[in-house]
Amino acid sequence: MSLLTQILIAWALVHASAALTHGFVALRRGRNDAHLAFAGVSLVLAVYLCGSAKVAGGSTIDAVLAGDRLRWFAGALLVPAFIVLVRGLTRRRRRVRDALGFAWGAVAAFGSATGLVTAPGHAMSAGALLRPTLFGDVCAALGVAIAVAYSVDLARFARVGRRGRAILAGATLLACIGYAADFYARVAEQASWYLMGHFTVLASICFTYVLMSRFVAEGEELLARTSELRDSCAELNRMQDTLVRREQLATVGELAAIVAHDVRNPLAVLKNATAGLRRGTLEPQHRAELLQILDDEGDRLNRLIRDLLEYAKPIEPQLEPLVLAPVITHAVELSVSGSDHADVVKVETDLQAAGTRIAGDRELLTRAVINLVDNAMEAMPSGGRLGIKSQRGLDHGRPVVRISISDTGEGMDTLVRARASDPFFTTRSTGTGLGLAIVKRVAHKHGGSLAIERNADDGTTVVMTFPTVEEPR
């Protein structure tokens, strides 16, 4: 085996190593990019140099012919692979020229497979020499022209910086010069030094340097952006903490005002009633009235403390599959039986869809329904109709069940409905403004929602929506 053949085989191994290296980088990056395209180019060059080594070391016309066909076939694949590489580096598409380049590759591959590109030349001491046919001459000239055109694109548009563009364009033109020199030697039927094989190794080193430099630069840029995002997240967290503290202070201030108002008034009434009871001349009827006032104001203070504690307590539902109908029925019975207006309010229920199963906390759902029914009953002191209805439906494509509780009271205007579920907002003199806020939290903790609507005639409808679960088979 001659020294030239050994050198060409060594260069083929260099290109094969470059193909493996860049292929691994492309797989690590997780996307089809310039590294994968260059791995393809390097692999084709390895095959091309294997064919060149076979031609350089061949001792028979059959061996040389096989090596030359392999070399031509690799050359036919080299131009399309180079086009893909340039497109990856420049992010530009030239449809007509790209189509011509791919068509050239197909025609050249066909010519190499059918033996249309070369013909036997003179016998030489180094082995049989093949010279291109006219068809091979045309194919080779077009291939070089296409490669040069895409080298110009690299010099102008490659996204590797000015220095990188100059290195890539120079390396490609050097490889084209080497191929042209080899091709001239073959046309002139002279011994070739296989300059393309030597020059492509230098070009491969240049491409690897530029691509790896870009890879490192992208990694550094990614680290810098990650650091910026981390700093931004930290700043956002600080801002969020500040806003939460301000909101907590505002809530505490609002709570203090409500407690001061709602506690001071009952305390004043209790003090007056106690002062009246100390009088020894009270008639039995007046004494009974004052005792009733004590009971009422005590209940009012107890209700305020209960609602405050319930609202302040974290809601962590213990979810289990359950049917809504029994829960709703039980809650309605508890609320109506304890209402002062039960005798003048007609209760109408339609809970057929409430047979649907949901993932819920029985105790929390019962308290939520009691709150809503209590509000509805208090909205109708002079009597009316309490409607409780369930309905299946879809919410953003997921199956849900809607529980509607409606009354025929005075209703709410738009501004009141918009703030009705806000903590501490109330329009009743004896209310704490926490009932609907608690119900809303319960609904959200169950993956549902709460909506307040005005009836077409009079009154208000509150709708709780819950996602359903599959029925057991």
Residue predicted with more confidence, 83 or 216: 83
The domains of the chain are located at 3-228, 251-312, 320-467
Per the prediction, the chain carries an average pLDDT of 83
Task: Output the CATH code of domain 3-228.
Answer: 1.20.1070
Average of pLDDT values for 288-313? Answer: 77
Residue 14 has pLDDT above 90, yes or no: yes
Predicted local distance difference test score (pLDDT) of residue 103: 93
Predicted local distance difference test score (pLDDT) of residue 128: 42
Residue predicted with more confidence, 63 or 427: 63
Predicted local distance difference test score (pLDDT) of residue 18: 92
Tokens of 243: 């806003």
Residue predicted with more confidence, 264 or 155: 155
Is domain 251-312 in CATH 1.10.287, yes or no? yes
Contacts of 266 (CB under 8 A, 6+ apart): 297, 298, 300, 301
Fold that domain 320-467 belongs to in CATH = Heat Shock Protein 90 (3.30.565)
Predicted local distance difference test score (pLDDT) of residue 365: 92
| pTM for the structure as a whole | 0.51
pLDDT category of residue 50 using cuts at 50, 70 and 90: very high
Residue 59 has pLDDT above 90, yes or no: no
Average of pLDDT values for 175-193? Answer: 78
Residue 12 has pLDDT above 90, yes or no: yes
